[in-house]
Each structure stands twice: as C-alpha cells, then as structure tokens.
C-alpha cells in the first residue's frame, strides 16, 4: 500500500512576515555531539539538541552500539559515553533513515572497533556515494565491503587497528573529512585530510573543545589541510547547540522576498564556515543585520535581522560552494526574484544530496514560470523582480526542497502546493509553526 503523503498549500503572506523567532538546534552540531558523546570519557549533556528524524536516527545508532542516552527537560540529552571501550557490536543493521551525516560519520567512529557494523538507509541514502569514506577507511586498516563494488549502502565495516593517513579529498565534503578525523582519533600517528575548499569545521571545534589537538593550515591553491593525532580520552561535559543557520535561512530569505517583512532570528549559529549565504545575499543587495551575542563556546551564536529587499543578480563560484552548500536552493530562489541573470557553477555535489537538488530546483523554478538553464554543475537563473503567481512542487521527500517550496509559496501571489510536505521533519519538524508565528499561512 502507498503511504499517504500530505500536500500543503503555502499561501502568500499578504501582510508581510514579522516577528522574532528562535530556531531549533543545529543538525550538524547535534549529530556530532551525540557521536562524540558516545565515546566521551563520562556523561555529556547536550543542551538544545535538535529533535528531528535525522538526529533521532543518530541517538538510535549510538544506543544500538550500547551507549545509554536519556532525554532530559525536553530538549537536553545526556549521553553516557565510556570511551571507545564502551561500544558494543550492534545486534542488527544500523538503519540511518534519511541521515546522510550519520551514515558518513558513524563509520569513522567504529572503524577502530573490533566488531561488525552494517549500515543502510532509505532509498535516497542507498543512492549516495560512499566510496569516498570506505576507500580511505580501508587504507587506514578497517575491513569494508559494500554494494556496487564498495561504493553504496548497505555496507559493512569490521573495525581494526588503524594507522593515520594523508588523504586529499576529491570533492570538498565536511562529512568525509569528519569521518576520517573521527577514525584518526584512534589511529596510530597523524591523520591529515586536505580539502580543496574550506568546509564546515564543527567536528574540529568539538574535538578541540574535548581536549584534542587539531591543526588547520592553508595549503596550495586555496586548499586547507586539517591534521590530528590520536587522543587518550575526550573530555566533554556540556555542549550548547546553537540554532540551525540552515533552518533560519528559510525565514531570512522569506523576509527578503515578501514585502513589508522584518524577521529577527535569535540564538542562531554563526560559524563562518556555515554562513556564506549571508555574503551572497549582501552582494544581492539584501537588507541584513548580523550581531554576535555569545562567543564563549565552540560555536559562535548571534542574531540575524532580515527586511524586505530589492535584489540584484550575482554569481556563486566553486570556492564559495561548500560554505553555502545546503542553502544553494534558497540562493536559486532568491535569484529568481533578482534583477538580472544569476549564475551558479562548481556545484555538481548538489546532485548527490537528499534529491538531485539541481534537477529539483530547475523543476520548481520552471513550474513558477522562471527561465532557468540547468548545467551539469550549476544553473543560470533569469530573475523576475515581478515575482510569480504560484505552482505545485514535488518535494521528492527532500526536506530542504519542501521548505524552499514553502518560501516560494509565501512569496507568491496565489500560493504554492508542496507534495509530501511532512518530510520537513527530517531537519525541522516545527517549520510550519515558526512560519505561522511570523504571519505565514497554510491550507
């Protein structure tokens, strides 16, 4: 029997979007806090943990590895790590659902453990490239085997004694870098990952916060080299997860596109390896204010104010892509309302996300009547400052595409229908409630 998928109509926000909101915890930081907490020396409290399908899959995975995790006071987690020695062989396959970060990071965590772990996920996960983690983990000393000649899930890892490696990433990816750094924490000697462009550095910050030594140096041609040595113990006690910038971004862009809007997002993560969208939007003429409010923890936290703006076209080139990777669909939507022709290139990686996001965005924008030219690694968008009337979007179960469709709806004159709108629960189960708090309406 087919599952019933809910279709939601996101109506135009005729009176503007106005108000002050906080956004649930950062997905990337929540995943990492639970994974590092699972091998920490003693209990770790994770404040403002994101409750979502993806991050709950990470809690289930570490429980399957024998780690106790309790939920306290609603949004705090207590993870009872006892070092790597506390991990046990899971009794069953670990199914990550739709969580790409989990299926790329957890193998690094268990690569030194002398037992078998089998990983799989939903249909989208089973299409995502895994050779990029399995091949270097095998070179470090783990036994690996996966579908499609060790390139796709399901795959199995039998951990072993690891040696550090020097690895150059073919594609800039924080997930692959993090996987190898987690394995490097238990490998003999130094592990170095060279990334062609800087990617999000939450793993490095959290390891340093736990007492590990991570070295980060510029390398030739804009690349970065990240190195670490093994640690005896990780000493984490409390982590405060900031609001998720990638989730906040939907309301920031919505405020720019909808007339008479002013949206203030409080307590949002402002890690500079995540906020590239703000630079892109400022180039487009966006009325934005950014203030840091707390720099005491590993992740900077602050406030972003966004007001309705007339936008002009811009270009996003390959060196900027990793820093805006999850917000590129929103950039393309903003480009659809800007004066002039915007261009994105060097972003082929978007085709290997929860959906093929270049194809998904070409379909969404085309359906709104915007002229686009999809290329192998990007898109050209001919902006129409006059906007669009409305349309219907197939989200393909991709949470970020569904939320871009919702923003397109509130910024339209007649509304946008989003199919399978409940998939937002992958990263942002309260998306509709926050939108309504700001004056958005659904039907």
Residue 235 CA neighbour count, 13 Å, CB half? 5
Buried b (16+ CB within 10 A) or exposed e, 67-102: bebeeeeeebbbbbbbebebbeebeeebbbbbbbbb
Of the candidate residues 130, 174, 187, 424, the single one contacting ligand S3P (CB under 6 A): 174
Closer residue to ligand S3P in complex, CB, 124/199: 199
Rounded Cα–Cα distance for residues 416 and 368 (Å): 9
Closest by CA position to 167, among listed 101, 102, 228, 233: 228
Phi first, then psi, for residue 263 (nearest 5°) are: -120, 130
Q: How far is the CB of 77 from ligand S3P (least distance, A)?
A: 17
Closest by Cα among 407, 405, 398 to 427: 398
The catalytically annotated residue of 26, 267, 326, 356 is 326
**Per CB under 6 A, does 181 bind ligand S3P?**
no
- Give min distance, CB of 54 to ligand S3P, in A: 9
Least Å from the CB of residue 31 to ligand S3P: 6
Omega before residue 154 within 30° of 0, cis: yes
Catalytic status, residue 326: yes
Pairwise CA distance, residues 203 & 183, whole Å: 12
Out of 40, 45, 95, 101, name the contact with ligand S3P by CB under 6 A: 101
> Does 357 engage in binding with ligand S3P (CB under 6 A)?
no
Q: Is 120 in the site for ligand S3P (CB under 6 A)?
A: no
Q: Is 309 in the site for ligand S3P (CB under 6 A)?
A: no
Minimum distance, C-beta of residue 174 to ligand S3P, in the bound complex (Å): 4
- Report if residue 326 touches ligand S3P, rule: CB under 6 A: yes
> Structure tokens of 223?
């690349």
Q: Which residue is nearest to ligand S3P (CB)?
A: 28
Smallest Cα–Cα separation from 210: which of 85, 77, 50, 42?
42
With binding defined as CB under 6 A, does residue 200 bind ligand S3P?
A: yes
Contact flag: residue 426 with ligand S3P (CB under 6 A): no
φ and ψ at residue 280, rounded to 5 degrees = -60, -45
Q: For 162-255, where are the E strands, in sequence order?
A: 162-163, 166-168, 187-188, 191-195, 214-218, 224-228, 238-240
Interface segment toward ligand S3P; rule CB under 6 A; list 86-94, 153-161, 169-177, 385-393 = 169-177
Distance CA 113, CA 116 (A): 8
**Residue closer to ligand S3P (CB basis): 267 or 326:** 326
173 binds ligand S3P (CB under 6 A): yes
Q: Does 325 bind ligand S3P (CB under 6 A)?
A: yes
Q: Which stretch binds ligand S3P (CB under 6 A): 38-46, 77-85, 170-178, 390-398?
A: 170-178
Taking CB under 6 A as the binding criterion, the range among 140-148, 173-181, 257-265, 304-312 that sits at the site for ligand S3P is 173-181
Binding mask 3-42 for ligand S3P (x = CB under 6 A): -------------------------x--------------
Q: Least distance (Å) from ligand S3P to the CB of residue 427?
A: 8
Q: Which range binds ligand S3P by CB under 6 A, 63-71, 73-81, 168-176, 187-195?
A: 168-176
Name the burial class of residue 218, with classes exposed (0-12), middle (13-18) and buried (19+) by CB atoms within 10 angstroms of its CB: exposed
Q: Which residue has the tokens 């004066």?
A: 339
With H, G, I as helix, E, B as strand and everything else as coil, classify residue 267.
strand
Is the backbone of residue 141 left (phi > 0), alpha (psi -120 to 50) or beta? left
| Candidates 35-43, 58-66, 172-180, 403-411; binding stretch for ligand S3P (CB under 6 A) | 172-180
Instruction: Say whether residue 95 binds ligand S3P (CB under 6 A).
Output: no
- Residues binding ligand S3P (CB under 6 A): 28, 101, 173-175, 178, 199-200, 325-326, 349
Residues known to be catalytic: 326
């Amino acid at each position: 029997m087919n599952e019933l998928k809910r279709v939601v109509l996101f109506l135009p926000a005729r009176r503007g979007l106005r108000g002050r909101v906080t956004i649930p915890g950062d997905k990337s930081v929540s995943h990492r806090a639970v994974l590092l907490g699972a091998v920490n020396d003693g209990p770790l409290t994770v404040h403002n943990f994101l409750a979502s399908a993806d991050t709950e899959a990470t809690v289930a995975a570490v429980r399957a590895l024998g780690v106790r995790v309790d939920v306290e006071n609603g949004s705090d987690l207590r993870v009872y790590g006892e070092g790597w020695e506390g991990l046990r062989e899971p009794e069953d396959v670990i199914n990550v659902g739709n969580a790409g970060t989990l299926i790329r990071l957890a193998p690094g965590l268990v690569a030194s453990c002398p037992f078998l772990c089998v990983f799989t996920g939903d249909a989208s996960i089973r299409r995502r490239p895994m050779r990029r983690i399995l091949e270097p983990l095998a070179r470090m000393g783990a036994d690996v085997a996966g579908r499609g000649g060790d390139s796709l899930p399901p795959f199995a890892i039998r951990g072993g004694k690891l040696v550090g490696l020097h690895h150059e990433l073919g594609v800039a990816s924080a997930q692959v870098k993090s996987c190898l750094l987690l394995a490097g924490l238990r490998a003999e000697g130094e592990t170095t990952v060279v990334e062609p462009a800087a990617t999000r550095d939450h793993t490095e910050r959290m390891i340093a916060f736990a007492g590990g030594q991570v070295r980060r140096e510029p390398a030739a041609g804009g690349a970065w080299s990240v190195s670490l040595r093994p640690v005896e113990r990780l000493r984490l006690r409390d982590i405060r997860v900031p609001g998720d910038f990638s989730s906040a971004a939907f309301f920031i862009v919505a405020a720019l596109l909808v007339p008479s809007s002013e949206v203030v997002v409080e307590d949002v993560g402002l890690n500079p390896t995540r906020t590239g969208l703000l630079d892109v939007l400022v180039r487009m003429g966006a009325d934005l204010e950014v203030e840091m409010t707390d720099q005491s923890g590993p992740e900077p936290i602050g406030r972003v104010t966004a007001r309705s703006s007339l936008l002009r076209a811009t270009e996003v080139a390959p060196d900027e892509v990793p820093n805006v990777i999850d917000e590129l669909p929103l950039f393309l939507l903003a480009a659809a309302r800007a004066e002039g022709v915007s261009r994105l290139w060097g972003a082929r990686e978007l085709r290997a996300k929860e959906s093929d996001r270049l194809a998904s965005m070409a379909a969404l924008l085309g359906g709104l009547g915007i002229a686009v030219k999809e290329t192998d690694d990007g898109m050209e968008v001919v902006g129409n400052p006059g906007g669009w009337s409305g349309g219907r979007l197939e989200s393909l179960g991709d949470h970020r595409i569904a939320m871009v469709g919702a923003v397109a709806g509130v910024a339209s004159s007649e509304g946008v229908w989003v199919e399978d709108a409940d998939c937002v629960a992958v990263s942002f189960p309260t998306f509709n409630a926050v939108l309504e708090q700001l004056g958005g309406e659904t039907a």
